[in-house]
Amino acid sequence: MANSADTHCPYCALQCAMTLTPAAGPVPVALSTPAAPLDVQGRDFPTNRGGLCRKGWTSASLLNHGGRITEPLLKGPDGVHRPIGWDQALDLAAQAVREARARHGADAVGVFGGGGLTNEKAYMLGKFARLALGTSRIDYNGRFCMSSAAAAGMRAFGVDRGLPFPVEALDTASTILMLGSNVAETMPPFVQHLKGARDAGGLIVVDPRRSATAAFTADGAGLHLQPLPGTDLTLLLGLSHVVIHENLVDTAYVQERTSGYSAVVRSVNAFWPERVQSITGVPAELVRQTARMLAAGARAGGSYILTGRGVEQHVDGTDTATAAINLSLLLGLPGTARSGYGTLTGQGNGQGGREHGQKADQLPGYRKITDPAARAHVAAVWGVPEDLIPGPGLPAVQLLKSLGKSDGVQCLFVHASNIAVAAPDANAVIHGLRSLDFLVVCDFFLSETAAEANLILPVLQWAEEDGTLTNLEGRVLRRRRAVSPPAGARSELWIMARLAERLDAPSTYSEDPETVFEELRRASAGGPADYSGIDYAMLDRGEAAYWPYPAGSTGTPRLFTGRFAHPDGKARLVPVAPRRRRTPDANPGPAAKAMTLITGRLLEHYQSGAQTRRVAELLAAQPEATVQLHPAAAHAMGIGDGTLVSVVNSRGEVVCRAELSTAIRPETVFLPFHFPGAESANRLTEAATDPVSGMPEFKFNTVWVRPVAAPDSARMLQTTEAS
């Protein structure tokens, strides 16, 4: 192992830079030893400037955690996983694939990927699924994270890159409107980029809760708009109404750089501020003040509009993100020197993970799988006939709904995703997993999904491998190996290469990350996400690499400065309108009170908690799920702070303790989604999806809340692991 390795954090898409060095004293040998083998230091980098959050500082403690899986495990008839050798494990996986294909056809084999995979592994997973497995049934957990913003960006701009500008550009903004993102807890080092707007009194946060980020607007630092859940689209239409009717539109920009203005004007006419107030609960004067602040900022120090999952994880998430883009275009923000629009990618490689082929409808380079030219290009790189590449598959929710069905997936491979906790309607997902003929999970811990697997394949952790990731700015970064992995663990690249051999797959499958990246460069060349001008050598020299980066160019730190990615170079203003939501579930009983559930994240945990719940310091800080309730609502239901409560709807039940707080609206409850079993928030979320993006409805679900008797609650909490 080298003396030190410069790399990036394994968690969120801010991808904070860090340096890993061997821990002082002897490196522990036993995996049960709690001490981390590496010391973590923050490294100066534009995104984090040396800072890390609690998750980053403790990230190395998982490398030799006692629960690490270090050899393949096969579930026996008694339900117990027992060690087997790699040859036997790979033979069993290949046999399961052949049997599923023989009995049900190629699409009976499915793959579920993850936004935490490196670019190389995400690329190879898409190739492996389509050529080695021969299936179209591949999608990934980014469908739960970025799909609505991506779909909105594609139709408005012609390309999707989370932040089409370096994050440092926010430093000089005088006004920032942030909708549905609590960066103070989800990516804490990001907040330093809000300081300029805060100091100017121009930070505007939209959130039904007074989150840690919303609290930054206090004392004259800005505004907190607290709409009813599910009404963000109406709020954005109201802001555009004010911009248009108070003559705040950047007319020259709109005429020169956009199309569709007249239709958008008509679409917002019915959303004057007082009507918006009646729907959203946001005072009309705050709607007007927000629009005016954004317009003034655009003319002065710069304005930015940023969206996050809170406004996108809805059945109308694409339209809501589109409404935010429309507002930004009316104000003349995208593609200018000091203003812009962007969306905050969540997962560590959420951006790169959706660019190179593990999405149901995409090929490498962010190409559409239905585009004949794209198919021909990728087929040539892979050295196969074009018709060997399947067509589009099913987006994640539909893929999961098909598990075990007669015409659905019978054999599933899961990589870097804990769908038993993270997917909507989790009880139905677990039932689907148990209905499969064969489930293969690649993981380094016994996650809740791995526990359901017939076969578990142990894989490498972040500091044990080389590769690249793409952060929320579209900047490609180097991940560097800093420590040797356990002897029994293998890279997913190695696993796919060995399985491809057993399945007599066409094309080649390298286990060397740099070799795979070289192929990725060729496969992406000419596509919207063109990486062809990037190589490991330039990244190792520390050169900034923002895609698109065609060979011979210097990359693109800021998109849209001259034109947008549509053929005519113009952005599309797309009229949108709120849609009627479905009828709520029936009331389960007179003692329960109907509330609106929103889910989200905590400072100490990440995603499904499969990693962070194994870090002692983080678990001690947030050891269990709590449901946040307004004191007035709690009092009406006879619920006190710390009371055990039942949160229930037709899909499932969560039993946890109540946390009373005036930071949340009285008709709303908040649950973190990091916890499993009886505390799993996604037992309650609906698997309804946005018709454009396939995004599930995570942020607007009807639930009933009631206190429960202590013995029953204790019994339910004790059965968490069993469930």
Cα angle 491, 495, 499; round to 5: 170
User: For residue 720, what pLDDT band results from cuts at 50, 70 and 90?
Assistant: very low
Q: What is the spatial distance between Cα 164 and Cα 72, in angstroms, rounded to a whole number?
A: 42
> In the numeric block, which tokens belong to residue 12?
């969120």
Instruction: Classify 458 as helix, strand or coil.
Output: strand
Task: Share the mean pLDDT of the chain.
Answer: 94
pLDDT, average across residues 522-547: 97
Q: Which residues, in sequence order, are CB contacts of 173 under 8 Å at separation 6+?
A: 196, 197, 202, 297, 301, 302, 303, 304, 338, 339
What integer pLDDT is reported at residue 496 of this predicted model?
98
User: For residue 722, what pLDDT band results from cuts at 50, 70 and 90?
Assistant: very low
> In the numeric block, which tokens belong to residue 656?
């946890």
Produce one character per residue of 410-420: b if its CB has 16 or more CB atoms within 10 Å, e if not.
Answer: bbbbbbbbbbb
Q: Which of these, 143, 186, 194, lies nearest to 12 by C-alpha position?
A: 186
Tell me the per-residue pLDDT of 142-190, one tens digit each, with 9 for 90 and over. 999 889 999 999 999 999 999 999 999 999 999 999 999 999 999 999 9
Q: What is the spatial distance between Cα 318 and Cα 60, in angstroms, rounded to a whole number?
A: 37
Q: Which amino acid is at 223?
A: L
Q: Where are the beta strands (DSSP E) in 260-314?
A: 303-307
Q: Is the peptide bond before 28 cis (omega within 30 degrees of 0)?
A: no
Cα angle 393, 395, 397; round to 5: 135
Q: How many helices (H) and strands (E) does the chain have?
A: 24, 29
Domain architecture of the chain: domains with CATH: 5-62 (2.20.25.90), 73-144+349-540 (3.40.50.740), 148-344 (3.40.228.10), 593-718 (2.40.40.20)
Q: What is the spatial distance between Cα 60 and Cα 499, in angstroms, rounded to a whole number?
A: 30
Sign of the torsion angle spanned by Cα atoms 329, 334, 339, 342: positive
How many other β-carbons are positioned within 10 Å of the β-carbon of residue 249? 20
Place of tokens 């996604």: 682
What integer pLDDT is reported at residue 612 of this predicted model?
96
Tell me the per-residue pLDDT of 445-454, one tens digit each, with 9 for 90 and over. 999 999 999 9
> In the numeric block, which tokens belong to residue 510?
């390298």
* DSSP tag of 668: E
Place of tokens 């339209």: 319
What integer pLDDT is reported at residue 468 of this predicted model?
98
Q: Could you tell me if residue 84 is left (phi over 0), alpha (psi between -120 and 50 degrees) or otherwise beta?
A: beta
Check pLDDT > 80 for residue 581: no
Tell me the per-residue pLDDT of 398-442, one tens digit each, with 9 for 90 and over. 999 999 999 999 999 999 999 999 999 999 999 999 999 999 999
How many residues in total does the chain contain?
Answer: 723
* DSSP tag of 408: S
